[in-house]
Each structure stands twice: as C-alpha cells, then as structure tokens.
C-alpha cells in the first residue's frame, strides 16, 4: 500500500488536519496546520507512543496553535503547524518511516515546513529530506535547533529573575530543570555555569548521572518535583505539567522553561499569579529553535538568527513591563500582541 493522505475534520479555527499512513513503512502520522495567515506553517515533528488517536490529535492541535503564536511573536514570517508520528521512537523508528513522513510533508505542497522535535534527530530529518524540500534543521544547514532554544530560554530566565527577585544574578538560586533532553541539558549547563544550585529530574538515569557528575546537580525523582524547595522552575520535558494541583504545590517564584504547552489549561496562569509566581509564556521564551529553523527556510545568515534570538529577551522585558503597568498577566499581554498581528490586514 502506498502512502495515503486523509483529510480529517480540523477543530474550529484550524485550517487543516491530515492523517498520513504508510503501513509498509510503519508510518502513522498526523499533520496539523493551525494558521498560514502570516506565512507557510512551520513546526517540528514529534514521535511519541500516544495511548490512542484522540490523545495524538489533542497534542498535535495544541502544538500547532502554539507554533502560530510562537512564530508570530518572534516575527518570523511563518504560520503555525506541527506533526506527530505515532509510535515509540526508540523501538519503531526507521529510515524508511522517516522517508515516508517526508513524502507526506511534500504532499502538502509547501504549506508546512517540518523540523526536529521530541524523538526526532537531525539524522532522522535528513531521511525525511530525501523525499521533500520542506524538511529543515539539517546537519550542514541550520543544524540541531536545541542549543538555540536553550540559549533563548536562558536569556529570558535571567530577565524573569530580575523581575521576580530584583536581580538577574543566578548565583545560589535553586533552579529545577525538569527534563534533560537536548534542550534541558544545554540549559542546565548554562545555569550551572551561572552559579545556580541545580536540581534535575528525568526518566533517563544516564542523563541524571551525567548532570550529577559534571554539573554538581542534585537529583530528584520525577514524582517529587513539586515537593522540592526551589526559586525557579524550568519545565523542559512534555507539556501539561502545571495543573491547578501542581500550581498550588509549586514553591518557585518564577517559571521559565523550554517545554511547549506547560499549562494544562489557561486558568493555571491566574492560579500561579495569585500565589506570586511569575509565569513566562512558553511560546515566547522557547522560540530560539524555530528562529534557527526559520533562518534555513528563509535562506538567512547567522546574523539574522542572532538578531532575532537577542530580541526574545527584549520582548519578555517589554511584556513584563506592560503586564505590570496594566495589572494583566504576562500570558494575557503576549496573547493580545499575537492576536493583533493575526487580525491585522495582510501585507501586499
């Protein structure tokens, strides 16, 4: 059976949702386009062993919407989209699967650009690129976007610290990094170099041992995260970790991390604020990776990437100032800024 692309009914406000299947290649994937108003949709491909299709659709739609907001806020001339491959990346992924995924992306005719996300590496994306010109984040081009994401989060975290504590100095600040993948580990290294008292958690024992040995990090069990005394919480794993229950337990005064969709629902931002916790919207602070990818899409130089990376922290500072002036949540300020961009007349 050849590759099959089936259009599903997208949620209200979304442009397109497709199911891509190639049983011989082991591919079952969803690609979601939330908005192409500001340009072609761009966003990474994640591979995850979802419990069922409903869970996969929930994840891909939330992520695609988040990419619209992220790309708009970072001024990248791109819309928002996302892809998820259903399966265990450690067990099920093959070059043939990734080639079939590339063919699925190509079938969308340039309306969606893909790159790495959880479970997908630059080498995997290179296999996809053999079947499409719309796969980026390739070695020898913009490369792994993770270091750019980590650098952007680190810069924003320092701005957030100045807001929450009166100084951006991280010496002796207790920072808990949840998740030691490519981005989380890179962020942990930057925090350790800045003198932070590092606490880390992950399900990967080797990553924990490395952080303990190299960075002097304290290790905590994943289920004990919200019992830890900390100043700053940096979620760098999967989304939805901040619920009404965990927000009530959190001891930090600042939340700034790389994970997408950190809040289980929008009301959690208000619950955090009521407890004196500053939450920096994830789609604003974690834009470094898509900035790197966008430079490849647009054929731009490192100077272009660095300019937009530097602008992330400035944008957070303005957002926090405006939130304080208007007595609004930073997340509300950020959302309003993006909604105004999406509502503005299209440029000629």
Q: Which strand (E) or helix (H) includes residue 177?
A: strand 174-178
**How far is Cα 196 from Cα 217, in angstroms, rounded to an integer?**
10
Per 3-state DSSP, the chain is made up of helix, strand and coil in percentages (nearest 5) of 45, 20, 35
Residue-wise over 237-272: b if at least 16 C-beta within 10 A, else e?
A: bbbbbbbeebbeebebbbbbbbbbbbbbeeebbebb
216 is in an annotated binding site: no
182 is in an annotated binding site: yes
**How far is Cα 53 from Cα 60, in angstroms, rounded to an integer?**
10
- Give Cα separations from 239 to 222, 234, 270, 282, 311 (angstroms): 14, 12, 18, 10, 25
**How far is Cα 263 from Cα 250, in angstroms, rounded to an integer?**
13
82 a catalytic residue: yes
Q: Which of 70, 82, 93, 190 is catalytic?
A: 82
180 is in an annotated binding site: yes
Helical residues (DSSP H) of 171-301, grouped into ranges: 182-193, 205-215, 244-249, 267-274, 282-285, 288-298
276 is in an annotated binding site: no
CB-neighbour burial class of residue 45 (10 A; exposed 0-12, middle 13-18, buried 19+)? buried
321 is in an annotated binding site: no
Q: What are the residues whose beta carbons fall under 8 Å from the beta carbon of 15, sequence distance 6 or more? A: 33, 34, 35, 36, 41
179 is in an annotated binding site: yes
Residue stretches of the annotated binding site for NAD(+): 179-184
Active site residues: 82
Known binding-site residue numbers: 179-184
């Amino acid at each position: 059976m050849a590759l099959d692309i089936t259009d599903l009914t997208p949620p209200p406000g979304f442009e397109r949702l497709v199911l891509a299947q190639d049983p011989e290649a082991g591919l079952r994937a969803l690609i979601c386009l939330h908005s192409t108003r500001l340009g072609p949709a761009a966003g990474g491909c994640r591979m995850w062993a979802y419990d069922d299709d409903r869970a996969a659709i929930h994840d891909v739609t939330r992520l695609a919407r988040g990419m619209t907001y992220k790309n708009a806020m970072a001024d990248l001339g791109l819309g928002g989209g996302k892809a998820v491959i259903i399966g265990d990346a450690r067990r099920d992924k093959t070059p043939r699967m990734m080639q079939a995924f590339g063919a699925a992306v190509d079938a969308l005719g340039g309306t969606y650009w893909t790159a790495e996300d959880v479970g997908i590496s630059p080498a995997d994306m290179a296999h996809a690129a053999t079947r499409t010109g719309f796969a980026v984040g390739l070695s020898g081009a913009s490369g792994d976007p993770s270091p750019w994401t980590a650098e952007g989060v680190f810069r924003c975290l320092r701005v957030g610290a100045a807001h929450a504590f009166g100084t951006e100095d991280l010496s002796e600040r207790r920072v808990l990094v949840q998740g030691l993948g490519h981005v989380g580990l890179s962020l942990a290294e930057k925090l350790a170099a800045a003198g932070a008292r590092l606490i880390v958690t992950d399900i990967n024992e080797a990553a924990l041992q490395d952080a303990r040995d190299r960075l002097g990090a304290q290790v905590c069990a994943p289920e004990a995260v919200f019992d830890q005394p900390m100043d700053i919480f940096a979620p760098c794993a999967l989304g939805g970790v901040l619920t009404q229950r965990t927000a009530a337990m959190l001891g930090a005064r600042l939340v700034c991390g790389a994970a997408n969709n950190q809040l289980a629902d929008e009301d959690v931002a208000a619950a955090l604020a009521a407890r004196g916790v500053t939450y920096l919207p994830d789609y604003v602070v974690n834009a470094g990776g898509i900035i790197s990818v966008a430079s490849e899409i647009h054929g731009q130089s490192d100077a272009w990437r660095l300019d937009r990376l530097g602008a992330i922290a400035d944008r957070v500072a303005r957002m926090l100032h405006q939130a304080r002036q208007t007595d609004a949540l930073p997340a509300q300020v950020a959302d309003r800024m993006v909604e105004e961009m999406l509502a503005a007349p299209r440029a000629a």
